[in-house]
Amino acid sequence: MKVTINLFATFRDGRFKGEQRELAEGTTLRQAIAGLGIAQGEVGMALINGRHAPLEHPLAEGDVVALAPSLAGG
């Protein structure tokens, strides 16, 4: 299945801003994060289609994932 992954702030370093990726059916958010080489503890915000989702949430075709480290202020 195709899933779009958008990365923010330092998560872009050595990776990418936004990419469409081919993931195996049933891949969870946790697995997708691990697949990017991002430690779970570094994640400040994980959204699926703009909504907060639990790490065990399975991704679906066409989902947009947004990942950011722990930033907090504006």
Partner 1 sequence: MDKIIRVDMSQLTTRTEAVPPEWAGLGGRALTSAVVAKEVVATCHALGSNNKLVFAPGLLSGTSAANSGRFSAGAKSPLTGTIKESNAGGTAAQMFARLGIKALIIEGMPVTGKWYGLQVNKDGVSIAEESELVGKGNFAVVEALSERLGKKTGLLTIGPAGEMMMLSANISVKDSDGKLRSHGRGGLGAVMGSKRIKFISIDDAGAPGVKLADPAKFTAAARVFARSILDHPATGQGLPTFGTAEMVNIVNAAGGLPTRNFSLGQFDRHEAISGETLREVIIERGGKPKHGCQPGCIVQCSQVYLDKQGNYVTSGLEYETIEMLGANAGVGDLDVIAEADSLMDDIGIDSIETAVAFGVAMEGGVLPFGDGAEVLRILRDEIAFGTPLGRVMGSGAGNVGKVYGVRRVPVVKNQGIPAYDPRSIKGIGITYATSTMGADHTAGYAVGTNLMGVGGGVVDPLKKDGQVELSRHLQIITVMLDSVGLCLFLGFPAADMPTCVPALVDMLNARFGLKLTPEWFGLLGVTTLKTERAFNIAAGFTNKDDRLPEFMCEPLPPHNAVWDFTGEEIDAFWDF
Which residues contribute to the site for partner 1 (CB under 8 A)? 6, 8-10, 12, 17, 44-45, 47, 50-52, 66, 68-74
E strands, the chain, are: 2-7, 18-22, 43-48, 51-52, 64-69
Rounded Cα distance between 43 and 71, Å, is: 9
Closest CB to partner 1 among 16 and 26?
Answer: 16
The minimum distance between CB 41 and partner 1, in angstroms, equals 10
Closest CB to partner 1 among 26 and 49?
Answer: 49
Closest CB to partner 1 among 25 and 56?
Answer: 56
Rounded Cα distance between 44 and 2, Å, is: 24
